[in-house]
Each structure stands twice: as C-alpha cells, then as structure tokens.
Amino acid sequence: MEGMTALTSVITSSLSGSLTDGSTASTEVENRDLACATRVLRTEADALVALAGSLDGEFLRALDILQGIEGRVVVTGMGKSGHVARKIAATMASTGTPALFVHPGEASHGDLGMIARIDAVVALSNSGETHELADIIAYTRRFGIPLIGMTRRAASSLAEQSDVALVVPPEPEACPLGLAPTTSTTMMLALGDALAVALLERRGFSAADFREFHPGGQLGRALLKVTDIMHKGDDLPLCRLDSPLSDVIFEMTAKRLGCVGVTDEAGALVGIITDGDLRRHLTPELLAERADSIMSPRPKTIRPKALIVEALREMNDKKITTLFVIEADRPLGIVHIHDVLRAGAA
C-alpha cells in the first residue's frame, strides 16, 4: 500500500512538472509571437514617419499633374505593388478623382487602349525595374502621357523615365529575411492615400459628394439627405388658409401622413393641421370652419440639404413625427419619421 502511494506521488509530481513545462513553453511562444508582431508594426510605423519627413516638391508636382488632367488616373503595378495599386485606384475613385487599375501584363496584350492621352499614369515598382511595366512606360513617353513613378530607388529606370518620381525612403523591410515586400508596400499604400486625400481637399470634396460614390451600406444610408426620401409633388399634403375643413380632412386622409400643411396666397408655409388638431376641435360645426381657424402656426421645418440623421434628431427633440422641407418659405416636401427609419438612420 505504501508502495502504491509512493508511485502515485511520483506520477502526480511528474505530470505536474510536465504541465508546468508545457505552460512555460506556451508562454514563451506567445511572448515571441507578440514580440515579432510588435517589431513589424514598429518597423513599419518608423518607415511611415520617415516617409512623412521625406515629402517635398515632387509630391506637390504630382498633385498638380493629377489635378490638372482632363481624364483619369491610371494606376498600375505588378505583384504586391499591383495589389497596392488597385487599392490606390479604388481610394481615388471614391474620393472624387476618377481612377482605374490597369494590369501591366494585360496592357501589353491590348489593354494599353484603356489609357487615353488625357489621362495620367501612376506606376508602382519597389525596385523600379519591373520589366512588365516597360510597355506602359514606353506608351506614356510616346504619347506624352504624364507618368508618376512610385519606387524605392531614385536611380531606377522607372524613376528616370517618370515626369515625377515619388521615391519612398530606403527603410528596412519588416520581413526578417529582407525579401517579402512589407514596409515598402505599406509606404506606397500610405503615399497613395496621401495623394488621394490631398486631391480631395484641393477639390473641396464634401460628405455629400462622398455619399454619391457610396450609396450602399451604412455609410450611404447615414449620408442620405431629406430630399432623397421626402414625399413631394402630388404626395405633398397641402391646403390654403381659406380651405374648408372638409377639404382638409379629405386631403389628410388621401395623403395618409397624419397632417396637412397650410400655405398663404404666395405659397409660403404658414401653418400645419394634424389629426390631433382635428380631434381637439371636434364639434358639430367643425366642417364649416376654415383651415386657419384651427391650424398651428410656424410648423417645424428642415432645409433640403439636411441629412436624415438631422431630421431624426429634430423629430426626437421636438417630439413630432413629421417635418416639412422648405426653401425660401415654400414647401418642397415632407418627411415622416417612418421614412427616416426605413432609410436606416437609426
């Protein structure tokens, strides 16, 4: 019995030691992984700081070219640079600078026809010697198409042939072998963002403009204006100051928005009658009254360019369910809270 107890003690001790050793080993691996990730991020962050400090007149010349062209910005690159080029083209296109990506391999087999003489080309190459870019470079030189090169080597063929060479600093790649494009592609991606945003600000591109290129998703819904969802034309419930309440009730019932706007002789909105107003004034003589006898003056309104989120806030603050959209005191439309909610503002 004592032997069994001793054996159990040995086994328990051994298992405990194994578990401890495994936990220690696991912790060491996790620490090593976190240290690696931290090193990568810090390496790339340092490179971006260096890139920001290297910007000069060449960047401004590139902006002048891209802003001044009549056509589009054609962005191109091979391999990892190609993936970055696609993203830069997409960012420019969504922020007011017409742009597209052209694959350099496909360009050599007919897609050069996608590049017009009124366009500009932004070509990405880490080494500046990517042979697949040769035909695009030659095409731009032949037809006088502005070429902006983005590379890591100032003495490269791409930089020498470009009208403007944006040379990123020679910061070390985050890859410990120094082979996989990591830091270099991060700098090119950030430089593309810098071009896109600087062009956006030069053009005065607004949130409303941004919404035109992003009609889907939460962003598009958040940037909808009241004019995008308002009831207008024949769907707008209106009456005149001297309209009999029998007509007002008919108009309110037909338009089904729970209210009618009251306008003066000039067509300006001067009041509102809600279904609650009708109930509060319900008497046998009600139908003989005129609209101006029970209307509430100075109804709550909103400007045409207001976002629907602003309309929702106004309705919540005033505890109302409708807002007339007016311009120069004249009603253009009406927005109901159900319209706002259906549009996804909340």
E strand map for 152-284: 164-167, 238-240, 259-263, 269-274
pTM check: above 0.75: no
DSSP structural state of residue 168: P
Residue 146: phi and psi, rounded to 5, are: -55, 135
pLDDT at 287: 81
Long-range pairs, 247-256, Cβ under 8 A, ≥24: 248/273, 248/278, 248/291, 249/278, 249/287, 252/278, 255/231
- Per the CB < 8 A criterion, the answer to whether 171 and 178 are in contact is no
pLDDT at 289: 86
> Which residues have CB under 8 Å from 273's CB, separation 6+?
239, 248, 252, 259, 260, 262, 291, 294, 295, 296
Cα 68–74–77 angle (5° rounding)? 135
Instruction: Report the C-alpha gap between 30 and 251 in whole angstroms.
Output: 71
103 is in an annotated binding site: yes
> Please, what are the domains in the chain?
36-205 (3.40.50.10490), 226-343 (3.10.580.10)
For the beta carbon of residue 173, count every other beta carbon within 10 angstroms. 21
> What is the length of the chain?
346
Q: Specify which residues 334 forms β-bridges with.
A: 231, 324
Instruction: Report the C-alpha gap between 335 and 288 in whole angstroms.
Output: 30
Blockwise average pLDDT, block size 10, the chain, 346 residues: 48 48 73 92 95 96 96 96 96 92 95 95 96 96 97 95 96 86 95 95 76 60 82 94 91 92 94 90 82 91 91 92 94 92 75
pLDDT at 7: 40
Residue 248 CA to its chain's centroid (Å): 44
- Per the CB < 8 A criterion, the answer to whether 91 and 66 are in contact is no
> Which residues have CB under 8 Å from 330's CB, separation 6+?
263, 267, 268, 269
